[in-house]
Amino acid sequence: MLTSVLTRRRFNQLAGMAAASLAVARPTHAQTTPDILLEIAPYTLEASPKRHIRTIAYNGQVPGPLIRMHEGQQQSIEIRNKSTNPEIVHWHGLFLPPEIDGAMEEGTPMIAPGASTRFTLTPSPSGFRWYHTHTFAGKDLTRAQFGGLHGFLLIEPRSNPGNYDSEIFLALHDWDGHFMSNDDGYMNPVYDVSTINGKMLGFGDPIKIKPGQRVLLHILNSSPTEVHWISLSGHAFKVIALDGNAVPRSQTVSMLRLAPAERISAVIEMDNPGTWVLGEVRRHVQAAGMGIVFEYANTTGKPMWNQPESLLWNYHQFATASTAPSPDTQRINLVFEAKFHGHGNEEQWLINGLSYPQNSAPDKLPRLRGGQRYRFVMHNKSMDDHPIHLHRHTFELRRVESAAEISGIDKDVVLVPANTTVEVEFLANHPGKTLFHCHQQDHMDRGFMMVFDYA
């Protein structure tokens, strides 16, 4: 308890510091070397020799550096913004105070161009997390999550059985987006280039493996807007964790589905020597570059791609049958809708009839109380699927698409398909402002956010 109090005071101090540096827009000169230094600066990504993408990156690489922390072990962080726009870094999946969580809607200060910020954080919970920018893109489809500001974050557990020989981290991303009007008149981003770890298929280094290895794959969908379906030809995935949290029932599948911001950890038995493609199942997305080559030692030849046999994906397969719903859980209805502004125009997104920030006014906001367990009953009354993210908390999937109640799947993002209802439960045990939003950048930019607050 004492540590958390001290930490909190420290955070407040540091939040003040960051605000000061925003005002003077001048780098903070640190006396000691931080544990983690992130430098945000313009960068040209070579997705292939013919595809150069001018973007913004962490430490001159896309994805940013893989950050490993140990659960509960305090880390000092320094972020330098050498770009020309204010920036902010969100630590996705961690339980951090709102002052440093990395959303301006929660009160984390933005870092002005040329300025730096320093703070400490105590990482929890363990598992596969990530860090990314949390700014506004609007009509500029090179900014915010459309760009290169994302990276892997692994919070090592206090003990790790380590039933694998090597770990591989892969990030799926889409680039060079432009808005296109679809049949119903809605504007959606479409992309010319898709990459895994910043490279188009055939242009990155192959992943070298040895027969008999057990590889633990950590895969992140950092796409600004797109759901992706992934398969590794000749192999299957034994899914052990969703969004970094162990699933109650591991299952072996031939294809993974990842909505924006979702992560999957899976073990692959490397028992089929050859040269294989891991890639997007949809042909046109793989043709745009979303693939990477797995190459066994002493094999040559053209990488092989086979369409997976089963294209089924659902969350249920990893869950256990439900435990009885706890009687003291309070239900909160959240209705998602689009307000259409006419053919070729961008729609506005509404939660319970209002966009952010109107929906988060004290008289409109569902009231939460610390220590209480809640069930969000999310009714998606739109024609789009939405990857819904709750900051600073983990929720448990309880019902997906009107199927039977389930339990045991803890996540921080859930895809709520069009015209369905999804129910999740969480314990309100991280007081302060908490951002709830659709992780699709163009949707959150057009009002699909809400900020809860409780003491």
3-state secondary structure (DSSP) of residue 240 = strand
Nearest to Cu ion of 359, 440 (CB atom): 440
Nearest to Cu ion of 360, 440 (CB atom): 440
CB atoms within 10 A of CB 181: 12
Question: What is the nearest approach in angstroms of Cu ion to the Cβ of residue 386?
Answer: 3
Question: What is the nearest approach in angstroms of Cu ion to the Cβ of residue 446?
Answer: 9
Binding of Cu ion by 389 (CB under 5 A): no
Strand pairing of 330-339 and 373-380? parallel
* Rama region for 301: left / alpha / beta (φ>0; ψ in -120 to 50; rest): left
Question: What is the nearest approach in angstroms of Cu ion to the Cβ of residue 364?
Answer: 20
Residues touching Cu ion, count (CB under 5 A): 4
3-state secondary structure (DSSP) of residue 437 = strand
Cα–Cα distance between 311 and 282 in angstroms, integer?
A: 11
Q: Which helix (H) or strand (E) holds 287?
A: helix 283-287
Give the position of tokens 């206090």: 158
Distances (CA, A) of 100 to 57, 70, 87, 240, 374: 20, 18, 13, 30, 24
Distances (CA, A) of 41 to 50, 77, 86, 115, 297: 22, 17, 11, 12, 37
Window of 103-111, 130-138, 181-189, 378-386 that interacts with Cu ion by CB under 5 A: 378-386
Task: Provide the residue type at 425 as one letter.
Answer: E
Nearest to Cu ion of 118, 132 (CB atom): 132
Binding mask 142-181 for Cu ion (x = CB under 5 A): ----------------------------------------
Question: What is the nearest approach in angstroms of Cu ion to the Cβ of residue 225?
Answer: 8
Nearest to Cu ion of 58, 191 (CB atom): 191
Distances (CA, A) of 78 to 117, 121, 147, 209: 6, 11, 21, 35
Nearest to Cu ion of 154, 172 (CB atom): 172
Burial of 23 (0-12, 13-18, 19+ CB in 10 A): exposed
Give the position of tokens 């809640």: 374
Window of 147-155, 209-217, 296-304, 437-445 that interacts with Cu ion by CB under 5 A: 437-445
Window of 25-33, 82-90, 163-171, 441-449 that interacts with Cu ion by CB under 5 A: 441-449
What the block records as the tokens of 366 is 């569902």
Nearest to Cu ion of 215, 338 (CB atom): 338
Question: What is the nearest approach in angstroms of Cu ion to the Cβ of residue 438?
Answer: 3
Nearest to Cu ion of 421, 440 (CB atom): 440
Which of positions 250-289 make contact with Cu ion (CB under 5 A)?
none
Task: Provide the residue type at 153 as one letter.
Answer: L
Window of 132-140, 233-241, 287-295, 383-391 that interacts with Cu ion by CB under 5 A: 383-391
Nearest to Cu ion of 394, 440 (CB atom): 440
Asked if residue 364 lies in contact with residue 354, where contact means CB atoms within 8 angstroms, the answer is yes
Binding of Cu ion by 438 (CB under 5 A): yes
Question: What is the nearest approach in angstroms of Cu ion to the Cβ of residue 340?
Answer: 15
Asked if residue 95 lies in contact with residue 106, where contact means CB atoms within 8 angstroms, the answer is no
Window of 49-57, 151-159, 267-275, 434-442 that interacts with Cu ion by CB under 5 A: 434-442
Cα–Cα distance between 407 and 413 in angstroms, integer?
A: 15
Nearest to Cu ion of 90, 386 (CB atom): 386
Nearest to Cu ion of 244, 447 (CB atom): 447
Give the position of tokens 């209705």: 335
Transcribe 69-124 into DSSP letters: EETT--EEEEEEE-SSS-B-EEEET----HHHHS-GGGTPPPBPTT-EEEEEE---
Binding of Cu ion by 446 (CB under 5 A): no
Binding of Cu ion by 440 (CB under 5 A): yes
Binding of Cu ion by 443 (CB under 5 A): yes
> Which of 134, 263, 386, 398 is in the footprint of Cu ion by CB under 5 A?
386
Question: What is the nearest approach in angstroms of Cu ion to the Cβ of residue 442?
Answer: 8
Beta bridge partners of 397: 424
Binding mask 88-107 for Cu ion (x = CB under 5 A): --------------------
Window of 26-34, 236-244, 323-331, 379-387 that interacts with Cu ion by CB under 5 A: 379-387
Cα–Cα distance between 330 and 127 in angstroms, integer?
A: 28
Question: What is the nearest approach in angstroms of Cu ion to the Cβ of residue 358?
Answer: 18
Window of 65-73, 295-303, 338-346, 436-444 that interacts with Cu ion by CB under 5 A: 436-444
Cα–Cα distance between 70 and 249 in angstroms, integer?
A: 26
Residues at the interface with Cu ion (CB under 5 A): 386, 438, 440, 443
